[in-house]
Structure 1
Amino acid sequence: MSIRTSIAQSVGKFTKWGLTTFTNGGSSLPGKLAQTLDPNILNHLAENYDVAVITGTNGKTLTTALTVQALAEKYPNILTNPTGSNMQQGIISAFLDAKPLKNGERGIAILEIDEGSLKHVVKALQPKVFLHTNVFRDQMDRYGEIYTIYSLMTDAAKMVPQATVIANGDSPIFNSTSLENPREFYGFDYQEDHEVQVAPNTDAILCPHCDHVLQYHSLSYANLGKYYCPNCDFKRPALTHSVNALHELTLKDSSFQIDGHDFTIPVAGLYNIYNALSAYSLASFFGLSPEQIKAGFSKAKRVFGRQEIFEIEGHQILLNLVKNPVGLNQVLDLVNLDQNPYSLVAILNNDYADGTDVSWIWDGHFEKLQDAPIQEVITSGMKAKEMTRRLEVAGLDKNGIQEVSDYQALVEQIKQSPSKNVHILATYTAILGLRKYLIDHHYLKQ
């Protein structure tokens, strides 16, 4: 290790200690300082790790958490970025925070990485495997169309052609480009083949070989399913791992079968079964048995902003991150499982980390809530008025919608809510701000 690298590593670790000791912490600053002192520090930090990169539009955080829980059943030295700080500086910070490996030891790094950051870190990390969750329209002001996002992912994979790519086989875009990398695919295979009509405004349903509209023998949601082209030989690839059955989907958990083995996870929604299947596929790549994966999944907990449950003076809160139309629609399907009266809170921000363009809320199917047992609607955030207008257009009673200006007012409104159950849908920076307020006022633990 060079003197420069040693100093950079020491400064980063000291900064992490200071932030943890005297503040609420900080996931990016230690990495930023270390990288400033040594631009190549990540090469050194990652050299004794087998790295798995988890990337895609939705599902990175939960997939990462489930994978880590599973791998802990077999491997003692696992590094991850649990705060969701998934850009270059946050990844460096995660390595700085890891316990030192003994001489000759190797660790495993399971890293959630933002699609836009891949090109900055892949050469240094030299991943053993990439896991691609999905590609949907997301932050179009930052990324552009879905094909731009996918190009970022394939360009990164091409930098490390020996790395295996494990991808969602139900997504046509993941089968649209040839790669030198070894490839595996996973998907849903629990339905008998039947013809399914896909909504005409669905993204990425044109055949990449001949431009004909793809057909489907089964469909889970959006453009995910058993697709085929009626005009050429393009179709869903053979699956290495698959969901064979759905047992039960409730508001708080999901039971299903993968490769003939039964699993339960403490989060709801069809989209989270995809995340579990992703994690299962990655854990299998690292040699875990289905029994070990099941044991790991049984210890899983809800992660930041993904169906977090807490209370505010007798009101049970279910908090969900929403950030693009496909994810929003899946969360709305989840909320619709609640047959008890509830209050709905929608917090819409348009900071850089959220995406400055909020037109995506108009592609969300809020109309699904027209017949829901909603007793009260509260809107807040930087774009509260836009959210209020969207809900009015969706058919919710405009006289029952209350706009509040800040988190204090929001919490006070929730305290007075006529419903014991409250569903909060919030964008990324809104969740950060709300959680900080709740922690500072002792409604939520750090």
Structure 2
Amino acid sequence: MISRMDIKSEDVIIDEIDFTTMPGTNTAVLGSKFVKVPLRNAYQAEGPWEFSLTNHSRNYLDLKRTYLVFTFDITDTAGNFVQMDSKLLETSMSYAPINNIAGSIIKTVTLHINSQLVYGNSTNHAYKSYFENLLNYSQDIKDSTLSAAGFYHDTAVEEFTSLGYQKRCLMVFNPKPVQVATNISIDLMNQSRLLLNSCKATLTVYPNTSDFLIEGHNLGTKKLKLNIRDVYALVHEYELTDGLSNELEAALIEHKLIQYPMISTQVRSFYIGPSRLDAPANTLFTSKMPRRIFLGLVSAEAYNGSQKTSPFNFKPYGLKNVHIDYCGKTVPGRPLELDFENNKFIEAFIQMQEAIGHSRNNSTCNSINTQMFKEKGFTIYGFELSPVALDNSLFEMVVQTNVSIRLDFKEKTPENGLYCVVVAEFDALMGLDTLRNPILDATAH
């Protein structure tokens, strides 16, 4: 006897014998191209670097495929090349750009559309870019696609034997300039909708210092300098058919607004003084509730820039519990109880992987294992505040609240203190009206 599993199950034809369906035909896009955008202002090593990405072009800008390209080298303060031992031995002097150098060069970035500010971050863009690449991609992607940004997978941070560090040493081993490129990791450029034509989009970038950007081994008293020799932007434009352009303009006039739903990522940091057993009371966000939060602890010396350390060396520092407070609630339901010395940290590791979504499938991972999380510089805590934090196709209900982070230590914090770096994601909405004026958190009525 043959029957259906359920009467609601519908008839289907598998693709291999479907001779009637044809792929769709592109009738909207006439062409697309990458365009090199030089500096708009005179070059200065310390910035700012300003780019006019569109300049009222009739084409539509593909924001997600916008890059900054840097050419740099590393010298001593007098401008002379410093030779390393080719064997990179423990006793030899070595140096390299910090991981994810193309994204790390950027300290602060702003975006104006028609002279109105639509994005302005803190001075922590390097951490934002590093967290995104570190947590979301596997080692294969890091060592292939992301190598264009100077990202190489480290098995241990601040260890000269790490293959990632040695690969970055080889980038600058010869006295030749190095070229790297990075996507511009800001809110509007992390969503897929095109920017309307006739907009003037201006990007302004400020760089980090050499002390922040160089990681060295056995440097002694030697001071090095990372020199940006050239910088330009690459933008990707679409040329649409006149008919579609006219229809889009008519729709804009009718509805008064074109909207861009997106995820807004905000970075905060706060200082924890020396010899403390808890973090100072702090409220990091006072607006709507974030979707999810990631945080890590780094030494104050590395955070402020030291060529003998990496600013991405996140350690436990004797933390015994951590939790998020909002709306009178605690995430997780009880504070994470930690004892890294006695291997009591697995719940925090699972929470981090859960917040990213890697623990729920077998197709993606970030190549961070429990040993790396425990003691190799990858102690990053993740918290889901939204029940559908991973589903970017849905908005959450807007909850106005204060969000604070509670940290307690079983041993006193180090002599120079710590910084807690916090990356939080929020729902956001931007609109463009008929005059191309940007409106943040714009709702259609």
Do these two structures clear the TM 0.5 threshold for a shared fold by scoring above it?
A: no
**TM-score of the superposed pair, with normalisation by structure 1:** 0.26
Q: Considering fraction of residues, name the structure with more strand.
A: 2
Greater Rg by CA = 2
**TM-score of the superposed pair, with normalisation by structure 2:** 0.27
Q: Which has the higher contact order (CA 8 A, sep 6+)?
A: 2
